[in-house]
Structures are given as C-alpha cells and as structure tokens.
Amino acid sequence: MDAIKHYTQAPLPFIGQKRRFLTDFKTILNQCIADDGDGWTIVDVFGGSGLLAHTAKCSKPQAHIIYNDFDGYAICLQNIKYTNHLRKIIFDLTQHVSRNHKLPENVKNQVQAALKSFDGFVDIHSVASWLLFSGRQATNLMDLLSNHTYFNCVRISDYPSADDYLCGLDITSKSYADLLSEFLERDKVLFLFDPPYVCTAQGAYRNETYFGMVEFLKLMRLVRPPFIFFSSTRSEFLDYLDLVIGYKLDGWEQFAGYRKINVQVCLNKNAHYEDNLVYKF
C-alpha cells in the first residue's frame, strides 16, 4: 500500500475525537505492538470519527484495523460535497452578521428555510457546529429547526475532501457487545475503548440509547487485555478500577497492574482538565 496521508484531526467536526491524545496513543501502540503490526488486529470499538483507527493504520500499516462506525461518520465523509454546498448557502446568508453574534430573527428564518429546502445530504453535526454556540449539539434536523438560538460560527472555507482518510480500514457498525463477541477469544487482538463518558452530555452521538452507568458496567465485564482505554477524570474511571482491584471484584485480574498516562487537555487559556489513558498488555 502507498504511504497513507496522516490526519491529525478528523476531517469533519466530531465531538470527543481524540486529537489531543494522538502522541501518547502512538507511544503506547508502539509499546504493545512491534514493527508494522503484521499478524495483529486492532479493534477500535467506539470508533466515533475513526481518528484512532486511522492513526493506528498509519502507525501499524500491516495490522488489520476494525473501525466501528456506530454513528455513520463514513457516510458524512462520502457526502462532503453536499456539506460544502450547504455551508456556502448558509455562509452567504449570514456573512453580514458579526462572527459569533446571535443571528437576527429574519436571518435565522432564512437559514431555516434553506435547511428545509436543501436537496441533498445534511450532516447535522457539521451544520450544528456552524450555528450553535460552544459545542452545543442537535440530535437531528427537526431538533435544530425547533429548539435553538443560532449564532454566526459558520465555517469560512470548504472542508477538503478526505477520500483517503478511511483507507485500509475494515469498517463495521455494531453495538460494542456484538463486535466484542467476535474477537474476545482471538489472539493478537488489541482493543481500543473510548466509550461515551458516563455523566457527560452525549447529544452528539447516535442516541437511541444513552450510554449510562449500567452500559458502562456491562462493558467492563467484557474488557480484557491487551487494551487501551480512554478515560475522563470526570467519570471516576481510575477510582472505579482501584475499587475493582482493591476488593478483588469480579474480573479484577483483567485490570490488575494496569498502567496509565495522564493527559493534560488545554481547551483555552482558562479551561484545562486532565484525562487518562489506561492500558494493559
């Protein structure tokens, strides 16, 4: 295969993509899997934007990489031309409004009319990133049209096409439990776990089911090494692991001796937080 272009962020907006973690992720990947990954399978169980699967493919080009595209992100990538067309329409309608200012009612009405009449694929998360403030999300077009205040955060330029971004990945779309049942008994399989963070808003994701505490506990019954697990300090993940290991709760052996990397995430000059990458080989 030709050398793959290495993306350091997902080509289209995706809340929760792990772009700030890529350096540490690659370091851990190299510790777990030698050379080019020949003979290995890497399963990106909560694939989201595919950024981890893509990065794994760049680092370990001979490995078989499964990207679990639960949200249909690959379809959004295939339809970038519609997203760019819609962006241009909305940009033209809003360009006289100051950046990041609220849209006046008449402009909002024009934008909504354009959204309703648009004859093509609508990538709701991209559209939301142009009109809603500070990472707010809409679950679908109906929601975007009914419940929100609009601002002018419209992207100034088109998204570049990203035909090669998912190149070499094996794309599937399954709930994590079904996917894991296919791989848990196999050797030389590394699992990447980046589930929705419990106790946080999940409006950006496919949302028939909220990924809550019970789902998290079900997932933890399936986790086994080698794995890399992304965790938020806000979800008390490390405290949970220490509890399981300390009291030797069911399955504690899967986590005993885990290692972690602290990742400082800087959102802006006032907002920092710390997350962890937990791993065991």
Tell me which residues touch ligand SAM (CB under 6 A): 10, 14, 16-18, 46, 48-49, 51-52, 68, 70-71, 175-176, 194-196, 205-206, 211
Choice between 52 and 74, CB closer to ligand SAM: 52
- H-type alpha helices, the chain: 22-32, 51-59, 73-78, 80-94, 105-117, 124-131, 141-146, 176-183, 213-222, 237-246
Give the shortest CB-139-to-ligand SAM separation in angstroms: 12
Rounded distance between C-alpha atoms, residue 67 and residue 51, angstroms: 9
Largest Cα span, the chain: 62
Give the shortest CB-191-to-ligand SAM separation in angstroms: 12
How many CB atoms within 10 Å of residue 69? Answer: 24
For residue 189, the cross-strand partners are 41
Report which of 15, 13, 21 is spatially closest to residue 229, judged by C-alpha positions.
Answer: 21
Upper half-sphere CA count for residue 135 (Cβ side, 13 Å): 10
Give the shortest CB-49-to-ligand SAM separation in angstroms: 3
Q: Which residue is nearest to ligand SAM (CB)?
A: 48
Residue 212 corresponds to which tokens in the numbers above?
A: 């809550």
What sign does the dihedral 223-22-154-166 (CA atoms) show? Answer: negative
Choice between 93 and 166, CB closer to ligand SAM: 166
Choice between 46 and 165, CB closer to ligand SAM: 46
Rounded distance between C-alpha atoms, residue 181 and residue 62, angstroms: 23
Give the shortest CB-99-to-ligand SAM separation in angstroms: 27
Residue 119 corresponds to which tokens in the numbers above?
A: 């004859």
Choice between 179 and 241, CB closer to ligand SAM: 179
Choice between 100 and 209, CB closer to ligand SAM: 209
Give the shortest CB-18-to-ligand SAM separation in angstroms: 4
Choice between 168 and 196, CB closer to ligand SAM: 196
Upper half-sphere CA count for residue 37 (Cβ side, 13 Å): 20
Choice between 113 and 266, CB closer to ligand SAM: 266
Give the shortest CB-44-to-ligand SAM separation in angstroms: 7
Give the shortest CB-205-to-ligand SAM separation in angstroms: 3
Rounded distance between C-alpha atoms, residue 31 and residue 33, angstroms: 6
